[in-house]
Structure 1
């Protein structure tokens, strides 16, 4: 690549660089004047052109680049077009981080940030794109609309422009189908659903991890690529990872890739190793579309069947390894939550993570799980890893639970109109008996939400401390019901289900429900928090 340099003596020189050694540089993008007044490449070779009007523009660019601490620059001009009407404006507006606008008298009148609304009005390019959002976030159809009536030099295609454009669109549609077939679920939607189900993400309940020395070591170390977050059930691992994801979005460079997946044992879509790799891969190719070439090597022949059936895991692991080895892969963060809830092929997934987390210093991994020996044994094989134990950070977890308690009590007080004495009593009881367990707080608050204001204090005293004792109480209450036998049969059937079932399917599975099929929802509600009915 050739760049211009404005020397200290005022002379312009052309310097060549290899493609992998191009330094930062500025581009002078302007409209073409009269042919006789614009400086062309031959003028630099012969030393002529200094008396041309266009030379003033180039000299100004060199001086401005020097003021911006840049040694090199280039000039880009196109004949017979105005700046905001030519085709190359798109790349010159979107690609650079900074675009500054100057008048013909070299007076600066703004940049693409300060003039964003005006540029949006003129070009129809969304604010997000002007602010540097990855173009992969916008559909092909939307990006084509940005082209509008821009003028570009007609391409010299022997087949004709229309035919060439048709081939281009066919290729784009083929690639889009490939990405659609990779998608089994969108982890971004799963994250939002999980956060909403758990009552929303509280920043103060997870930010302790940002100051944690283990987390900071993993984040800053060039050698330790894998972070394993481990803890007992209901200690807030999933919401902790949701918070880490949000923080990484803000902290990492805009060119970096962030891909994640949330395993849930009760959801057939996201409880197996194949689904995990498909989810991670889908987010990667969505953010860096060039990576889809590794998928298409196989998908162009096999289609969607590539990701289904007994051979899907083999195909996906080979594709994923190719992606991780791609020289163009940008800095990448891969996050997998709840490895213990990967019900199918968990061992294969653990082996894959342990092996691949040590192969590239451009890829950082975070995984979370319960304190299961089998998971620890597999992850011990990873060459470069650190562990973050929630039990060893009990005081910080307790503070996070306290934040959660205050949030839930405030919500109850507002919805049920607690008096101050009632609110304080609820806050005190939850704080004293939660045992640093988010789920215990959530279950008690769920029960209190259905309790009349006048009965809250009496009801509060009935909740035992700790999750095990609370579960036992729920079972005892269910056993005293007139429908206890039916409830036990429903729970027994639910315990061995491979996937969630509809009410009609539950009736077919549980014989006792056949005579009370109209009351299935009521029976399910008698099972307490052990079952959830989605309507």
Structure 2
């Protein structure tokens, strides 16, 4: 991996024995404004004229202030001209953020004003919270420091210390850990609470980072309203969150998200992945609304519904797998109405509010023929009882 020497601002490559480093999380501007890998490698003086050079410089200075010799900025530390290196980088991205000493989160459209509440309002409007790639950059690091447009520190959320730094007296709180390790607020609304409110991600995740204790549907819901420039990146930006790896195939469009779910199915027996909901599509004179859909969701947006955030998988006794004919699994069918060609496939799912309560979730299927062929109804909403 390539790191930036904070003293020389030159790239250095490490194959093993990687030193401690800070890593920057930010939103990309126009490509012409960012300092790219080849430009950084040449280290031409012209890169200082680019708008994107400022955040590299600020990141390096902060890392040096924090006693670190190296930092990493994705715009200039990944050779995007090499498809092999790009694929390796995207599959390694989550671990790079997780292994960093600290992650600096740069909110270039937020201005922090001392002793005012304006940052409360502008924080939730930051573009950073709307982008797909920044989700893993929020979840993976052990320590995250938030900075505004002027590189004024807003606050810190640390997994290791269960505390947030007080900055300019604004957040007026601290946290301590009780015997169970749960953070306890003293006063005010913590930065973690604000971030949790903006993102829909529980504070437990921000403090502890135990992604495995949350269902596939819940994790998908965190990405449901985030956007990426390229449609394939809606899937690729979630690889680390589900601890899966797969090759990149730019040009495959929405199929990238299908492939991601197929990889999740291979690794995690979690029926919540099938508990997404579709929205009605208006037919046109030349294109009637489709009647059926596949079992897997077309995009992360299908997990936006609130019910996706509280469901948990039950233990699946009957294994299921991806085959050359698609997903093979056995579920119980309940007839929608006597004599109907519509059924509910009952999923092994419960709700976190009462995991022992007998609640069933079903997806609506339509019978295709008399030989036991069924397909998911395009607009059949996931039902619970």
Same fold, judged at TM 0.5 (above):
no
TM-score by length of 2: 0.42
Larger % of helix: which? 1
| Structure whose alpha-carbon radius of gyration is higher | 1
TM-score by length of 1: 0.31
